[in-house]
A and B are shown apart, each in its own frame.
Chain A
Amino acid sequence: AEFSGIPKMTHYTNSFSLLLLLHLTYTFATHVFTDLEGRTEHAEVTAYQYGIFRLRFRDGQKYEVGDVVVATDDLSVPQSGDVFQHNSLNTVVQQSSLTVQENGLKAEFTVNSKAAITTELAAADGDNVGVTVTFPETTVLYGIPERAIDMALKEGHKYRMYNLDIFKYELDNDQGLYGIIPLLMAHSAERTVGFLFLNAADASVQLESDGGNGKKTTFSSEGGIVDMFFIPGPTPLDVQRQYSYLTGKQYLPPLFSLGYHQCRWNYRSEEDVLQVDAGFDKYDIPYDVIWLDIEHTDGKRYFTWDSHNFPTPEKMQEAISDKGRKMVTITDPHIKRAPGYHVFDEATANGYFVKNSAGTADYEGHCWPGTSSWLDFTNPDVRDWYATLFKYDRYKGSTPILYSWIDMNEPSVFNSHEVTMDKSALHHGNVKHRDVHNMYGYYHNMAAHQGHMLRSQGPPHDIPTRPFILSRSFYSGTQRYCAVWTGDNQAEWSHLTKATPMLLSLSLSGLPFVGADVGGFFGNPDAELLVRWYQQATLTPFFRGHAHLESKRREPWLFGDDNTALIRTAIRTRYKILPFIYTQFYIASQEGSSVIFPLFMQWPSDSSLFELQDQFMIGTGLMAKTISEPGVTETEVRLPGTQPWYSFSTGASYSAPAATVGCSLQQGIPILQLGGTILPLRERPRRSSNAQVNDPFTLQVALDNQKQASGSLYLDDTHSFKYQNGAFLFRQFTFENGKLSSTSYSQRTAYTTPVGQVSESFSTKTTVERVRLFGYDTKPSSVSLQYNLQGASYDAAGLQGVVPEDHTKPVPLTFEYENGVLTVRKPQAAIQLDWTITIQ
């Protein structure tokens, strides 16, 4: 549409502006205009909570991305002329406004009266749409994953947004990989804003300087509409949380899925699976899930088993389940065109496949099974039907410990242009594939998630269980359904190095549950690379070892005793910090934050961190550095902020702004705990996360310069939805004035999901077996525990034998003090109760 050619429609040229305070919710204004071709378009403005605006151009014809935005606009706000206001609920005092001129041709988004984003619509050209988006006063742009590049985007580069299965993807290539989150984070030392371009067609972003000290980006897409969200910040964490408010927060994964996963293309038979499982026990290495890739099926017919190699899948799963572990099978979106195969027959009978361009027959292409067709997940009926395929009576040989892996959903079509679906193929409602391409994987995410929700609604489940699904393709919103991995990487040091910025980019773009294949998918890592990879990946949200069909076996015990021990230590580190990781996921699920993130997000005004991508935070308390070359024994680590840092394993202290840290293969990569934080740990070696649930905790307290620290611990039944009804414990630990106190967590932010009806509770007899303090200056004279029980909170029956009968008296505790590390021995403090440990 030629917006510039409509000056005579003066009654539409009035500009309007909306001024919003934080938490202003729901308003929209529509301006209708007719473009030169006589089509009616609506420039529509919507305002959401937290000062977020949406501006989109609708004509009722073009494809619009749906099913992604979950923010509801159900609050009414006082209106005065063009000004809409709402009382701020937050301590962050902020105003934002959107001024739209010339029927939306130009718009300016301001935050606290300062221009933050300006947009100018490009002249439309056929189906092509575009917009120039300028971010004044912006030092660096991040986001628009997934691609194998540095975290900070670069001027002079054009980034494509088109989901593709790229064979042996090159590093530092601007092409898009398997999924896209069309979100930009524009950052400077002063403030951060976000911009979401909700469009699913083949698109690109060209990045340039704006001529001043900001950035200019040009978005262009071959289809759909221009649909933009302006996200005010003012910090990177605010942008992330506001984005999560729009598209959904990380779902709370079941605890097991945060343990270690062992995968390979392919474990060949039931016997092979059981031998690998036995190997972990033989070498006392913990793991939670063993995976089956495409070869486990009957000729790549998903939801079936190869009857020769997997004749008794239930029996196999029972053996795995007996050790408290789980399994995952793969199920891809391409369906073998084979009459007699129930999925093919039913999809054919119901017309559930994507159609060819004429709409006359099913679209066909080649993938693993040979000639295949693709399920049209954009159709809600297809998703409803697909969900039933996961039910135990439909997926023969599946049991409640079986979870899912959905791959090749870009979609990958071997014999088609760019190894993906023909853009002219037709989806539900005569939508061309070109318009919906980047959403295909996302709709597969939704369908598989729906399937797992459905199957746990009845027997043999007493209560519904949380799904675990791993997907390769994704879109904004995938965080509500799936974990994602970075696809087919390679067994090279360069790929280990690039994994960190790739995962950070996904994390800061609102997709927290991410990981890269340990060891590299293609090729064969040598022992040092593999050990380093385990040392790094054990700290990343999704932790899986995987290898190509043609790669040598690389189970952790195949590289000699020394390397087995190093890998065991690395994987055990994961299980040690699992309570902390699980707590971070809970926080992400409640506040829309991420689990790992780049350092600049915690110290946003330190411009020396803006491009730092070989170090990352795990929660706000731990930091690690990737070691990405052989033979390294020590490395320089950036230590931002003003607080001390401590070696996670020894308590040795380091000061800002940088330090040399020993990191031989035996020492492991640098892992540091930030002064001022308390980490909940489970230090006993176990064979799986399930085997840890009754274990006592260690609280590792790293004191800051004021000798204070705080932290939290989230606990629930690990797998059900009962936590949504209050069946969880969320404890707050605070250290100040020589006292460590445990109280119920009550901190809430403006982003915290409101608590639903509390009808259930969670109780545990677990205790604290050890308190370890880093940075405690002198040897204390005494340490004691005092319960602070005010009747109601103390379930005497449930905690009999844990809490002393006379809990009003302080209990003296023993302790050790060595090299600045104070270890309080066996406080036996019940984790669910309020208490104080006093150090004198």
Chain B
Amino acid sequence: MNLACCLLLLFPQLLCGLRGVNETEYQMHYSNPDTFQCLSDSSVRISATQVNDDYCDCIDGSDEPGTSACDYKFYCENAGHQPQHIFSSRVNDGICDCCDGADEYSGFVECADGCAALAEKLRLLRLEKERIRKEGITKKVAWIQEAVVEMQKLKEELATLEQDKQSYTTKLAELQFIKDKEEEIEEKERQAKKHGLMSDEDEAMPMADGSYSASQDNEDEDEDHDPKIPVPSIFSRFKGWLLDMVDEYIYSLPSRRSADDYKRPEAETARTNYNSQQTLVDNTQERIDKINKIFDTDYGEQKEFYMTTKECLNFVGEYTYKFCPFGQVTQGYTSLGDFSGWKTTEYENYGTTIDRSVQHYTGGVYCHGGPDRSATVVVQCGLENKILSVSELVRCEYQLVWETPAACSMEEDEAASN
């Protein structure tokens, strides 16, 4: 910018540069005193007097950066604050858009120069934000450290669990072998008992090969037993129920009961031992899965969000909501969804980026006439771990704003400090 220009900053539209463009744009495209080439079609040359003459000559609108004649953009310098481009549709529309009021020069409205005040307001906001950030990262750093410790513990626990699981599984196989053996004996004894009793009372003949099918026997009885319980066709849909009644009746016969209920004490012990070992294996696996899930979950680059999983947050608005980070969101007793991941954006050829300022919770309770409930959680830096608001912009799609030190940036806002 030359000296004359600087001196004439007070009257930019008249002498220095061009209304609606910044210095760079001016030097690049608009400084020719005779002609102007439309920016997106340099074959169209118009007289320089047609630039900002309040009539749209270029198809791309570039000849009217300082008026509302085209669908284009207008630059406001906003001295004392930040420069910006606004839509040309805002120029001389009776509403002050630029803080310096440069967009309203036709006199339809008086715009006060609000740049200094706006800058001050933003500066204070930024300072406050930076103060919170700085304080917030103290907590965040502590959480990161705690997470490191916790993770180490979990890692160790996992190693132990894997070992335990192996020995528990070996032991389980042994106990199964014992159990199977004992039960084989038990079954033989039971069959013997049953046949003996039955020969006495019912004179039933064993099959020639010595086998005797209890189930076959039962089936026969199901169909023929006890004419006092008929199955009329109109009750056919109760047939299943009636058959159960018949079964119950049969098993209530003393002979059958005593045979079927037979338990060999050694087999009982083997079963108990086996079952408790199975439970031990299952519990161990469950814990392993849980720890692996923790390892698989994205708690942030430094696992700074891990410690937030330790407590659920309540929010009382029009309804009462409960938010368990990385777990579930509920409204009263209704699930609004389980954690399904951070917001991701896929770029062709560039892979996927993760946005750790938004979380998704999906698969909540089905909404009558609509989709399953779901929630989006907007994550912001704050001193405390709390929910700021819950809204339902579309029916059954919720939005929560969650403030947590875990979201505070480690990077200093230099502009705020200056």
Contact = CB atoms under 8 A, between A and B. Distances in A.
Interface of A: 268-269, 271-272, 284, 286, 308-309, 322-324, 549-550, 552-553, 684-687, 690-695, 769-770, 825-826
Interface string B2-30: 00000000000000000000000000000
B317 interface: yes
A462 to B, nearest CB: 18
Q: Is the interface of A mostly helix, strand, loop or mixed?
A: loop
A770 B56 CA distance: 10
Contacts of A272: 391, 393
B121 interface: no
Interface string B47-65: 0000001110000000000
Contacts of A693: 94
5 nearest A-B residue pairs (beta carbon): A691-B93, A685-B89, A284-B87, A550-B370, A826-B55
B183 interface: no
A322 B109 CA distance: 12
A685 B317 contact: no
A687 B89 contact: yes
7 contacts: A272-B391, A308-B317, A684-B89, A686-B89, A691-B94, A692-B93, A695-B68
Given A308-B317, A826-B53, 12 more contacts: A308-B318, A309-B318, A553-B393, A684-B89, A685-B71, A685-B89, A686-B93, A691-B94, A691-B95, A692-B93, A826-B54, A826-B55
B390 to A, nearest CB: 11
A693 B68 CA distance: 13
Contacts of A268: 391-393
A685 B318 CA distance: 41
Residue of A269, A272, A309, A684 with most partner-chain B CB within 10 A: A684
B108 interface: yes
B90 A690 contact: no
Contact of B394 (A271, A286, A552, A695): A552
Nearest to A816: B57
A685 B88 contact: yes
A98 to B, nearest CB: 55
A566 B204 CA distance: 88
A309 B389 CA distance: 11
Size bracket, chain B contacts: 20 to 34
B369 interface: yes
Nearest to B389: A271
Interface in B81-138: 87-90, 92-95, 106, 108
**Considering residues B53, B88, B93, B391, which has the most beta carbons from chain A within 10 angstroms of its beta carbon?**
B93
Given A284-B87, A686-B89, A324 B395 contact: no
A550 B395 contact: yes
A129 to B, nearest CB: 43
B95 A324 contact: yes
Nearest to B92: A694
B154 interface: no
B54 A269 contact: no
A553 B394 contact: yes
Contacts of A323: 95
Nearest to B73: A284
A831 B55 CA distance: 17
Contacts of B88: 685
A549 B392 CA distance: 11
Given A269-B391, A685-B89, A550 B68 contact: no
Contacts of B68: 684, 686, 695
Nearest to B72: A685
A322 B55 contact: no
A127 B391 CA distance: 54
A549 B93 contact: no
A549 B397 CA distance: 11
Contacts of A695: 68
B69 interface: yes
Contacts of B53: 826
A47 to B, nearest CB: 52
Interface of B: 53-55, 68-69, 71, 87-90, 92-95, 106, 108, 317-318, 369-370, 391-395
B68 to A, nearest CB: 5
A741 B320 CA distance: 69
A684 B394 CA distance: 34
Contacts of B318: 308-309
A322 B89 CA distance: 16
B395 A769 contact: no
Contacts of A549: 395
Contacts of B392: 268
Contact of A694 (B55, B94, B317, B393): B94
A691 B108 CA distance: 10
Contacts of B395: 549-550
Contacts of B71: 685
Contacts of A694: 92, 94, 106, 108
Contacts of A286: 89
Nearest to A684: B68
A233 to B, nearest CB: 46
A198 to B, nearest CB: 41
B89 A284 contact: yes
Contacts of B369: 550
A308 B395 CA distance: 17
A771 to B, nearest CB: 12
A701 B88 CA distance: 27
A825 B69 CA distance: 12
A158 to B, nearest CB: 34
Nearest to A683: B56
Contacts of B317: 308
A825 B108 CA distance: 24
Contact of A825 (B55, B95, B106): B55
Contacts of A553: 393-394
A272 B391 CA distance: 9
Contacts of A685: 71, 87-89
A687 B391 contact: no
A145 B55 CA distance: 46
Contacts of A686: 68, 89, 93
Contact of A687 (B90, B92, B394): B90
Contacts of B90: 687
A665 to B, nearest CB: 20
A353 to B, nearest CB: 30
B330 to A, nearest CB: 19
A308 B317 CA distance: 8
A687 B393 contact: no
B391 A322 contact: no
A254 to B, nearest CB: 17
A769 B393 contact: no
A391 to B, nearest CB: 29
A595 to B, nearest CB: 26
B94 A324 contact: yes
A293 to B, nearest CB: 12
A322 B90 CA distance: 13
A322 B95 CA distance: 8
B41 to A, nearest CB: 15
Nearest to A825: B55
A322 B370 CA distance: 37
A237 B69 CA distance: 39
Nearest to A271: B391
A522 to B, nearest CB: 10
B347 to A, nearest CB: 16
A687 B55 contact: no
Nearest to B57: A825
A553 B370 CA distance: 13
B69 A684 contact: yes
Contacts of B393: 268, 272, 553
B114 to A, nearest CB: 13
B56 to A, nearest CB: 8
A342 to B, nearest CB: 23
Contacts of B55: 769-770, 825-826
A825 B370 CA distance: 55
Contacts of B394: 552-553
Nearest to A285: B89
